C-alpha cells in the first residue's frame, strides 16, 4: 500500500506535498462541503505548496486565506463543521496549534458527546511538525498532547502514499482529527496509488520484518528508524520497524503482536519523551502482553535551537537508535552502547 | 413575542432559577437573575431558524429561546430525560435543533465557533443568522478581536451581544477592561454598535431587531452592548463580594417588576392578569420539578457513548 519501492504497478510518483494536494482536490471535487482555510493557502498554495492548484480550481470561497489567528481558525473550523461543512484548517506549524487548543479540545472534541450524538464536528486540522532549522517555537512535535483527548483522532503519515490515503480518510471522518506532517517529509517522493483509494485510520504498518527487536516510529522518524534498522542488520540484529501512522486510535494490537514475537520494544519519536508517544506505546503494549524489555528514544529534554549544530544534537538520529537497540538487547552489545554519545534519558526525570 | 409573552418569559426565567437555586441536588448553577431582559429582548428579535450561542450563564437564554423547562431542568439535574440526556448539564447544555446551539463555559470560547457557524450559513446561502451572547468578561479575551475581525472582513451574518453585567466572577469591570463602553470595541472594525439599557426588555428587543435586520440584509455583523446587573453572586457556590446596601440598590432595579409596572401603566395588563400569570408559572415550574424528579439518571455506560 505504501510506496517505498519506486516503480510499483498502478502507482504514480508524487512528492509528499503533491500527495496531500491530490487527496484534498479529489475530496473537494467529490464533496462541495469540503473547505480549506488557513494562512497562505490561497494563491500562494500553502507554505509547502501542499495546496497547489486548489485556489485556481475551487476559488476563494472554498480555499480561503485567513488572518494570522490560530485560535479563531480552529474555532471557525469547529463552527463550520457543526454547521454542515467539512473544513480543513491549515495551521502552518504545530507550535501554533497551541493557540487553537481551546476550540479543538473544549468544543470540537466534545461536541458529539455533549449533544448526546446529535451534533458532530468533522474538522481536519492539518499542521506541520518537526525540526528543520527554525528554532525553539517552530520545531516542536506535540502530537502526544493530543492523544489523550477523547473524541479527537490523530494521524501522522511518513510517506506520500499514506499522506494521500490518510488525508482522504481524514476528510471523511465523523469527528475532529489532527493530521500531522513534517517539514523534512516534504522534499521526499514516493509511489501513490493511481486509483482513488481511502486509507484506514487506526492501522499501523509493518514496514520491515524482523525478529530481534520491534521499533516503532511515526512521521519523519520512520525514515530514521528504517536507516537504523539497516545499520542494525549490518551488525546482525534483525529489527522489525512499525510505522504507527495513527496515534489516536493507536493500533496496539499490531505493535503488541510484533513485540511478543521479538521480545523487545524500542520506541522512537521526535517529540519529548515525558508523557510522549513512546511512553504510551510501551505502557499499552506491556498492559497487553506483560513485562518486556523496552526503551524509548527521543530528543534531549531541551528546546530545539535554530543553530543547526545544536538542533542535530537534540533531535534523535539513526546512531542513537542503533545504540539504544544494542543496549536494550543486552550484554552482547553493551560495549557498543557505551560508545553512544548521548544516552536515552527522558526530560524531567 | 408580544410584550405580555416577554413578561411571562422573564418571570419564567426568574422562577425557574429561584426554584433551582433552593434545591440541594444541582451541583452548582450560574444564575442570570437581574439579566432576564437581555435574554428575552434578544430572543424576541431572533427568528426560529437563527442560531444562538451563549457563555456559561445560559439558563435565561435557553428558556427565552423556547426550550422546554421540564427538559432543561432535567438536564441541569443530570437526568436522562434532559435535553442532552443529562450528559451536558450546566455550562454546556445545547439544543441546536431549537436554535440554541448552546452554552460554552470557557469564557470567550463561543465567539470563534459562532463565526464558523455564521460562515457556514453564508456559504450555504441561508438567510438565517447567528447570535453570540457573551459577558463583559469575554471582552478581555483575544478571541473577541479575532472574531470581530473575521466577521468584519468576511461580512458574516453574526450579531455580537455583550451582556455587560459589570462583573467577571468577583472582579469589577473597571479593573479588567480599559474601554469605557464595550460597544466601542466593535467600531474600529466598521461594525455598527450600540449600547442599550439591558434592564429594559423593550430597549433590548428594539436594538436587537435593528441589529438583526442589518445582519440579515447581508451588510455584515453588528454589535450590541446591554448594560445589565447581576443580582446573585457568580454561582450558587461563589461568595458574594458586594455589600448588602449595594445589593439592595441593585435588586431594586428589577427588570421584571419595572416591565410589569410599565405594562400595567400602559393598560396592556391588569393586576388580576399578573396574579394568573404568576400562578401559571408557579405551576409550570412545579411540573418541571415533578418531571425531573421522576426521571432516571443516565445509565453509567452513557459515560462512553458518543465520544467518537
CATH number at residue B19: 3.40.50.970
pLDDT (mean) for A85-89: 98
pLDDT (mean) for A299-311: 97
State yes or no: pLDDT of A62 exceeds 80.
yes
Which residue, A214, A244, A219, is CA-closest to A229? A214
For an interface test with B, give the residue of A60, A80, A85, A114 to mutate (most B CBs within 10 A): A114
Q: Which residue on chain A is closest to B156 by alpha carbon?
A: A76
Catalytic residue, chosen from A138, A182, A183, A184, is: A138
A187-212 pLDDT, tens per residue? 999 999 999 999 999 999 999 999 99
Alpha carbon of B216: minimum distance to chain A alpha carbons (Å): 17
By Cβ distance, the residue of B94, B114, B307 closest to A79 is: B114
Is A103 in Cβ contact with B120 (below 8 Å)?
no
Range A205-338 has CATH code 3.90.660.10 = no
Q: What is the mean pLDDT of chain A?
A: 94
By Cβ distance, the residue of B88, B116, B147 closest to A114 is: B88
- Domain containing B71: what range? 3-292
Is A114 in Cβ contact with B120 (below 8 Å)?
no
State yes or no: pLDDT of A8 exceeds 60.
yes
pLDDT of B175: 87
Is A114 in Cβ contact with B150 (below 8 Å)?
no
Q: Which residues of A touch B148 (CB under 8 A)?
A: none
pLDDT of A67: 96
By Cβ distance, the residue of B84, B85, B113 closest to A107 is: B113
Please give, one letter per residue, the 3-state secondary structure of chain A. CCCCCCCCCCEEEEEHHHHHHHHHHHHHHHCCCEEEEECCCCCCCCCCCCCCCHHHHHCCCCEEECCCCHHHHHHHHHHHHHCCCEEEEEEEEHHHHHHHHHHHHHHHCCHHHHCCCCCCCCCEEEEEECCCCCCCCCCCCCHHHHHCCCCCEEECCCCHHHHHHHHHHHCCCCCCEEEEEEHHHCCCEEEEECCCCCCCCCCCEEEECCCCEEEEECCCHHHHHHHHHHHHHHCCCCEEEEECCEEECCCHHHHHHHHHHHCEEEEECCCCCCCCHHHHHHHHHHHHHCCCEEEEECCCCCCCCCCHHHHHHHCCCHHHHHHHHHHHHCHHHHHHHHCCCCCCCCCCC
State yes or no: pLDDT of A124 exceeds 60.
yes
A15-193 matches A205-338 in fold: yes
Distance between CA B168 and CA B107 in Å, rounded?
Answer: 10
Number of domains in chain B: 1
Q: Which residues of B touch A174 (CB under 8 A)?
A: 308
Chain B contact residues (CB < 8 Å to A): 84-85, 87-88, 92, 94, 96-97, 101-102, 104, 106, 109, 111-121, 123-124, 142-143, 146-147, 149-150, 153, 305-308
By Cβ distance, the residue of B92, B115, B117 closest to A72 is: B115
Is B146 in Cβ contact with A79 (below 8 Å)?
no
Alpha carbon A341 to its chain centroid, in Å, reads: 27
Q: Which residue on chain A is closest to B94 by alpha carbon?
A: A115
pLDDT of A100: 97
Is A118 in Cβ contact with B96 (below 8 Å)?
yes
* Domains of chain A by residue range: 15-193, 205-338
* A189-193/A11-15 β-pairing: antiparallel
A138 is catalytic: yes
- Cell numbers placing A348: 524531567
Residue B302 maps to a domain:
no
Residue B157 maps to a domain:
yes
A88 touches chain B (CB under 8 A): no
Is A84 in Cβ contact with B143 (below 8 Å)?
no
For an interface test with B, give the residue of A116, A117, A122, A151 to mutate (most B CBs within 10 A): A116
Is A85 in Cβ contact with B113 (below 8 Å)?
no
Q: Which residues of A touch B118 (CB under 8 A)?
A: 79
Alpha carbon of A319: minimum distance to chain B alpha carbons (Å): 39
By Cβ distance, the residue of A69, A75, A151 closest to B308 is: A151
- Cell numbers placing A184: 523534512
Q: Identify the CATH assignment for A15-193 out of 3.40.50.970, 3.30.2320.80, 3.40.50.300, 3.20.20.60.
A: 3.40.50.970
Q: Is the dihedral of CA A132, A138, A144, A150 positive or negative?
A: negative
Residue B261 maps to a domain:
yes
Helices (H), chain B: 3-22, 36-45, 59-64, 69-76, 109-124, 142-153, 173-176, 201-216, 244-251, 255-266, 271-294
By Cβ distance, the residue of A103, A117, A174 closest to B113 is: A103
pLDDT tens over chain B, length 308 residues: 999 999 999 999 999 999 999 998 989 999 999 999 999 999 999 999 999 999 999 999 999 999 999 999 999 999 999 999 999 999 999 999 999 999 999 999 999 999 999 999 999 999 999 999 999 999 999 999 999 999 999 999 999 999 998 888 889 888 889 999 999 999 999 999 999 999 999 999 999 999 999 999 999 999 999 999 999 999 998 999 999 999 999 999 999 999 999 999 999 999 999 999 999 999 999 999 999 999 999 999 999 999 99
pLDDT (mean) for A233-251: 97
Distance between CA A334 and CA A336 in Å, rounded?
Answer: 5
B25-36 pLDDT, tens per residue? 989 999 999 999
Residue B301 maps to a domain:
no
- ω into A346 cis (within 30 of 0): no
Residue B150 maps to a domain:
yes
Q: Which residues of A touch B103 (CB under 8 A)?
A: none
| pLDDT band, residue A3 (cuts 50/70/90) | very low
pLDDT (mean) for A292-296: 97
| pLDDT band, residue A334 (cuts 50/70/90) | low
B239-298 pLDDT, tens per residue? 999 999 999 999 999 999 999 999 999 999 999 999 999 999 999 999 999 999 999 999
Q: Global pTM? A: 0.94
| pLDDT band, residue A332 (cuts 50/70/90) | low
Q: What percent of chain A has pLDDT over 90?
A: 92
By Cβ distance, the residue of B111, B112, B306 closest to A112 is: B306
A112 touches chain B (CB under 8 A): yes
Alpha carbon of A340: minimum distance to chain B alpha carbons (Å): 43
A284 touches chain B (CB under 8 A): no
Residue B64 maps to a domain:
yes
For an interface test with A, give the residue of B53, B92, B113 to mutate (most A CBs within 10 A): B113
Amino acid at each position: 500500500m505504501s510506496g517505498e519501492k519506486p516503480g510499483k504497478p498502478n502507482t504514480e510518483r508524487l512528492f509528499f506535498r503533491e500527495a496531500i494536494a491530490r487527496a484534498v482536490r479529489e475530496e473537494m471535487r467529490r464533496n462541495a462541503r469540503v473547505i480549506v482555510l488557513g494562512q497562505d493557502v490561497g494563491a500562494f498554495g500553502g507554505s509547502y505548496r501542499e495546496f497547489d492548484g486548489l485556489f485556481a480550481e475551487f476559488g476563494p470561497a472554498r480555499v480561503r486565506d485567513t488572518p494570522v489567528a490560530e485560535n479563531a481558525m480552529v474555532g471557525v473550523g469547529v463552527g463550520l463543521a457543526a454547521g454542515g461543512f467539512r473544513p480543513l484548517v491549515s495551521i502552518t506549524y504545530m507550535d501554533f496549534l497551541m493557540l487553537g487548543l481551546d476550540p479543538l479540545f473544549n468544543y470540537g472534541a466534545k461536541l458529539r458527546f455533549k449533544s448526546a450524538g446529535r451534533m458532530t464536528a468533522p474538522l481536519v486540522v492539518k499542521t506541520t511538525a518537526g525540526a528543520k532549522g527554525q528554532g525553539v517555537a517552530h520545531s516542536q512535535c506535540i502530537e502526544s498532547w493530543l492523544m489523550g483527548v477523547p473524541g479527537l483522532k490523530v494521524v501522522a503519515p511518513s510517506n506520500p502514499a499514506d499522506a494521500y490515503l490518510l488525508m482522504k480518510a481524514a476528510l471523511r471522518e465523523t469527528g475532529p482529527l489532527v493530521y500531522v506532517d513534517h517539514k523534512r517529509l516534504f522534499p521526499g517522493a514516493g509511489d501513490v496509488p493511481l486509483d482513488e483509494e481511502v486509507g484506514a485510520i487506526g492501522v499501523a504498518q509493518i514496514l520491515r520484518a524482523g525478529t530481534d527487536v520491534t521499533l516503532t516510529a511515526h512521521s519523519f522518524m520512520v525514515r530514521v528508524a528504517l536507516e537504523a534498522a539497516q545499520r542494525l542488520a549490518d551488525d546482525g540484529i534483525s529489527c522489525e520497524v512499525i510505522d504507527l501512522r495513527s496515534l489516536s486510535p493507536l493500533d496496539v494490537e499490531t505493535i503488541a503482536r510484533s513485540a511478543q514475537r521479538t521480545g523487545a520494544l524500542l520506541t522512537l519519536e521526535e517529540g519529548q519523551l515525558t508523557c510522549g508517544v513512546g511512553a504510551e506505546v510501551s505502557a499499552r503494549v506491556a498492559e497487553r502482553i506483560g513485562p518486556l524489555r523496552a526503551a524509548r528514544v527521543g530528543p534531549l529534554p531541551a528546546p530545539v535551537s535554530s543553530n543547526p549544530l545544536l538542533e542535530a544534537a537534540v533531535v534523535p538520529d539513526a546512531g542513537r537508535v542503533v545504540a539504544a537497540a544494542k543496549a536494550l538487547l543486552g550484554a552482547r552489545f553493551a560495549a557498543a552502547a557505551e560508545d553512544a554519545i548521548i544516552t536515552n534519558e527522558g526530560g524531567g526525570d | 413575542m408580544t410584550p405580555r409573552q416577554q413578561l411571562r418569559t422573564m418571570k419564567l426565567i426568574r422562577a425557574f432559577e429561584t426554584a433551582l437555586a433552593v434545591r440541594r441536588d444541582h451541583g452548582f448553577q450560574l444564575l442570570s437573575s437581574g439579566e432576564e431582559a437581555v435574554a428575552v429582548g434578544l430572543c424576541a428579535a431572533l427568528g426560529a431558524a437563527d442560531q444562538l450561542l451563549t457563555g456559561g450563564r445560559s439558563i435565561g437564554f435557553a428558556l427565552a429561546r423556547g426550550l422546554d423547562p421540564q427538559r432543561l431542568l432535567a438536564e441541569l439535574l443530570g437526568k436522562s430525560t434532559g435535553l442532552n440526556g443529562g450528559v451536558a448539564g450546566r455550562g454546556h447544555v445545547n439544543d441546536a435543533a431549537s436554535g440554541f446551539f448552546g452554552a460554552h463555559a470557557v469564557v470567550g470560547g463561543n465567539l470563534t465557533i459562532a463565526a464558523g457557524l455564521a460562515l457556514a450559513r453564508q456559504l450555504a446561502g441561508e438567510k438565517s443568522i447567528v447570535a453570540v451572547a457573551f459577558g463583559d468578561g469575554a471582552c478581555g479575551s483575544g478571541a473577541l478581536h479575532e472574531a470581530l475581525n473575521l466577521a468584519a472582513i468576511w461580512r458574516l451574518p453574526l450579531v455580537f451581544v455583550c451582556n455587560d453585567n459589570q462583573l467577571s466572577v468577583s472582579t469589577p469591570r473597571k479593573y479588567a477592561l480599559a474601554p469605557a463602553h464595550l460597544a466601542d470595541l466593535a467600531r474600529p472594525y466598521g461594525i455598527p454598535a450600540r449600547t442599550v439599557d439591558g434592564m429594559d426588555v423593550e430597549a433590548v428587543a428594539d436594538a436587537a431587531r435593528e441589529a438583526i435586520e442589518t445582519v440579515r440584509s447581508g451588510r455584515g455583523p453588528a454589535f450590541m452592548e446591554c448594560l445589565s446587573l447581576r443580582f446573585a453572586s457568580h454561582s450558587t457556590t461563589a461568595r458574594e463580594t458586594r455589600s448588602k446596601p449595594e445589593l439592595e440598590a441593585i435588586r431594586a432595579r428589577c427588570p421584571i417588576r419595572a416591565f410589569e409596572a410599565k405594562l400595567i401603566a400602559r393598560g396592556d395588563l391588569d393586576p388580576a392578569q399578573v396574579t394568573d400569570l404568576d400562578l401559571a408559572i408557579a405551576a409550570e415550574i412545579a411540573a418541571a420539578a415533578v418531571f425531573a424528579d421522576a426521571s432516571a439518571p443516565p445509565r453509567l455506560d452513557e459515560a462512553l457513548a458518543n465520544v467518537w
